[in-house]
């Protein structure tokens, strides 16, 4: 069966077209795409989608729909996450997607987003990591944490309203950042971590997902270009991860833009994402210090996008051109 998952977050929109040999089989990628649409531009401040951002995002939906038709996709699951949850005029986006693809948008709750990210990451990493593992999906508007096991057992899940775009818009306006801005953003993230309700001391493997973390991993690996195959499954010591995060936090936009693996659409927000990731790593390291100390992180290129494609296979949702 040929399926597609589409994930539209606060900062990016992504498409995965994949073949699924059977209901429980692994995905075989046909197409993976990612564009910076910044649908959530200004949503934290206004509570509304900006008309220009909405138009920009729906133009990518048009492109994705055409590519799905060309590749004979039989089932699509379309996820919208933090920005769409927060926007009072979300129906404009939902209706726009329905008109273009003939499928409804799944506006996922924070908990649903967390579980879909966990399913996507563990579909390829389960069996190669020590359990329980904590997956951290760091997006533009929110960050999802799930503590669980390879068999799908969830021990704790939470969605925090801190992400690279939201932190940038709330706190981080200077270039380079001031100490006061950094302190305010850290306090925001720490307050969010205080309320997750997850027993982080159980974490045996910390798995980071999504563009901020994969880009930080590219920095640690000193890549000359973005290489998903090298990034996926890469391990970073806590010191390496913390040092790379600190570099991004203290860097200027010009310095970030010169990195050969840097997507231009991340330049203005990745320092904010690095701050969130650094705070998560430090909190988990502290929580595990008296049990089995955490020594490293693992980066996954597979996340909620894979989870949506798996859902499209498990519960077929035919687009307009199939019905």
**What's the pLDDT tens digit per position in 100-148?**
999 999 988 878 888 888 887 877 665 667 889 999 999 988 999 999 9
Q: What is the pLDDT of residue 118?
A: 84
Q: What is the pLDDT of residue 125?
A: 67
Residue 231, domain member (yes or no): yes
Most confident of 62-71, 82-91, 108-117: 62-71
Domain count of the fold of the chain: 2
Q: Give the global pTM.
A: 0.87
Same-domain check for residues 104 and 135: no
Q: Is 219 in contact with 247 (CB distance < 8 Å)?
A: yes
Same-domain check for residues 91 and 229: no
Mean pLDDT of 34-39: 92
Which residue shows structure tokens 């701050």? 275
| The pLDDT of residue 277 is above 70 | yes
The CATH number of residue 249's host domain is 3.30.420.150
Q: What is the pLDDT of residue 90?
A: 92
| The pLDDT of residue 240 is above 60 | yes
| The pLDDT of residue 212 is above 90 | yes
Of the candidates 61, 55, 67, 63, the one whose C-alpha atom is nearest the C-alpha of residue 99 is 61
The CATH number of residue 89's host domain is 3.30.420.40
Same-domain check for residues 137 and 239: yes
Same-domain check for residues 149 and 296: yes
Q: What is the pLDDT of residue 123?
A: 72
Same-domain check for residues 177 and 38: no
Of the candidates 313, 311, 300, the one whose C-alpha atom is nearest the C-alpha of residue 121 is 300
Mean pLDDT of 191-208: 96
Mean pLDDT of 232-236: 93
- Reading the block at residue 57, the tokens are 């995002």
| The pLDDT of residue 32 is above 90 | yes
Residue 310, domain member (yes or no): yes
Residue 98, domain member (yes or no): yes
Q: Which of 117-121, 279-283, 288-292 has the lowest mean pLDDT?
A: 117-121
Q: What is the pLDDT of residue 24?
A: 57
Same-domain check for residues 269 and 309: no
Mean pLDDT of the chain: 92
| The pLDDT of residue 26 is above 90 | no
Q: What is the pLDDT of residue 199?
A: 96
Same-domain check for residues 277 and 140: yes
Which residue shows structure tokens 């969130």? 276
Q: What is the pLDDT of residue 110?
A: 76
Q: What is the pLDDT of residue 95?
A: 96
- Reading the block at residue 77, the tokens are 């699951």
Residue 319, domain member (yes or no): no
| The pLDDT of residue 258 is above 90 | yes
Same-domain check for residues 92 and 184: no
Residue 322, domain member (yes or no): no
Q: What is the pLDDT of residue 35?
A: 94
The whole domain housing 89 covers: 2-109+305-314
Same-domain check for residues 92 and 198: no
Q: What is the pLDDT of residue 128?
A: 61
Q: What is the pLDDT of residue 119?
A: 80
Same-domain check for residues 158 and 208: yes
Which residue shows structure tokens 């200077």? 174
| The pLDDT of residue 310 is above 70 | yes
């Amino acid at each position: 069966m040929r399926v597609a998952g589409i994930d539209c977050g606060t900062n990016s929109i992504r498409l995965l077209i994949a073949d699924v040999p059977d209901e429980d089989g692994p995905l075989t990628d046909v197409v993976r795409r990612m564009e910076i649409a910044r649908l959530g531009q200004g949503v934290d401040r206004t509570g509304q989608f900006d008309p220009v951002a909405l138009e920009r995002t729906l133009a990518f939906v048009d492109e994705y729909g055409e590519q799905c038709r060309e590749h004979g996709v039989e089932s699509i699951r379309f996820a919208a996450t933090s920005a769409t949850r927060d926007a009072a005029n979300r129906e404009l986006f939902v209706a726009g997607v329905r008109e273009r693809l003939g499928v409804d948008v799944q506006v996922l709750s924070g908990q649903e987003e967390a579980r879909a990210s966990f399913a996507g990451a563990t579909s390829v990493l389960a069996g190669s990591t020590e359990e329980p593992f904590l997956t951290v999906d760091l997006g533009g508007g929110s960050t999802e944490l799930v503590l669980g096991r390879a068999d799908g057992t969830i021990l704790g899940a939470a969605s925090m309203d801190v992400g690279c775009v939201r932190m940038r818009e709330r706190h981080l306006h200077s270039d380079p950042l001031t100490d006061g801005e950094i302190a305010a953003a850290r306090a925001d993230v720490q307050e969010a971590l205080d309320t997750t309700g997850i027993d982080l001391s159980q974490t045996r493997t910390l798995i980071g997902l999504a563009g901020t973390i994969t880009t930080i991993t590219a920095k640690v690996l000193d890549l000359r270009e973005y290489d998903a195959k090298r990034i996926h499954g890469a391990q970073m010591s806590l010191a390496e991860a913390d040092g790379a995060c600190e570099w991004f936090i203290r860097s200027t936009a010009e310095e970030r833009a010169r990195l050969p693996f840097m997507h231009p659409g991340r330049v203005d927000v990745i320092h904010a994402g690095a701050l969130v990731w650094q705070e998560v790593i430090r909190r988990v390291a502290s929580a595990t210090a008296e049990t089995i100390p955490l020594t490293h992180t693992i980066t996954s290129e597979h996340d909620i996008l894979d989870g949506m494609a798996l859902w499209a296979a498990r519960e077929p949702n035919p687009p307009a051109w199939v019905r």
